[in-house]
Amino acid sequence: MTLSMYQASVPVFRAYLTNLSAILKKAEAHCADRKIDPAVMLQLRLAPDMFPLLRQVFVAADAGRLCLSRLAGQEPESWPDVETTFPELQERIARTIAFFDGVTPEQIDGSEDREVSLKAGPNTYSFRGQDYLLTFALPNLFFHVTTAYAILRSNGVTLGKLDYLGVR
C-alpha cells in the first residue's frame, strides 16, 4: 500500500493541532486553579532567545496551513497573529482545522515533485514537495508543539507524553 501526500500530511497536522488544543485547555485550567494570570503564562519561554508560548502556538497552527497551501500550488493566505488569550488561540486552532477540512486529496496528491519555495527572513528556500513535507513542514509542526508542551510542563502544568501524543 502506498502512503499518499494527503495521508502523510492532513491527518498528522489535524492530530497534532487537536493535541495542542487539549494541552492548552489543561494550561488554561492550571491558570484558573492556581490563580495565575493567563497572559503571563502565554508569554513564558524556554530560553530568552526563543519564542514565547503564544508564538509557539501561532507557528504550530500555521505550519499545516502554509504547507498544504504550498503543496496545492496556492499562495498561502496571510493570517495576522492577533490572538492574545487561551480562548482566542483555541479559535485559531479551530479555524486552522476547518481549513484542513476544505483541502481535498486531489489538491495534495501528486505534489511530491512540485517545486515549493518559501521565504524565511532574508532567505528563500526551495524544496521538492515530498522533501518539504517530510523534512521541513512536519518537523516544524512537531518542534513548535513540543516546545509549547515543554514550556507548559516546565511551569507546572500537569502533562504527560500521552497528552502530546493525543492518547485519550
Residues 6 or more apart in contact with residue 136 via CB below 8 angstroms = 125, 127
pTM, two decimal places = 0.95
Task: List the chain pLDDT tens, one digit each, 168 residues.
Answer: 689 999 999 999 999 999 999 999 999 999 999 999 999 999 999 999 999 999 999 999 999 999 999 999 999 999 999 999 999 999 999 999 999 999 999 999 999 999 999 888 899 999 999 999 999 999 999 999 999 999 999 999 999 999 999 987
d(CA 88, CA 80): 13
Superfamily name with CATH number, domain 5-165: dinb family like domain (1.20.120.450)
Residues 6 or more apart in contact with residue 109 via CB below 8 angstroms = 4, 5, 6
Kindly list the domain boundaries of the chain, sorted by start residue: 5-165
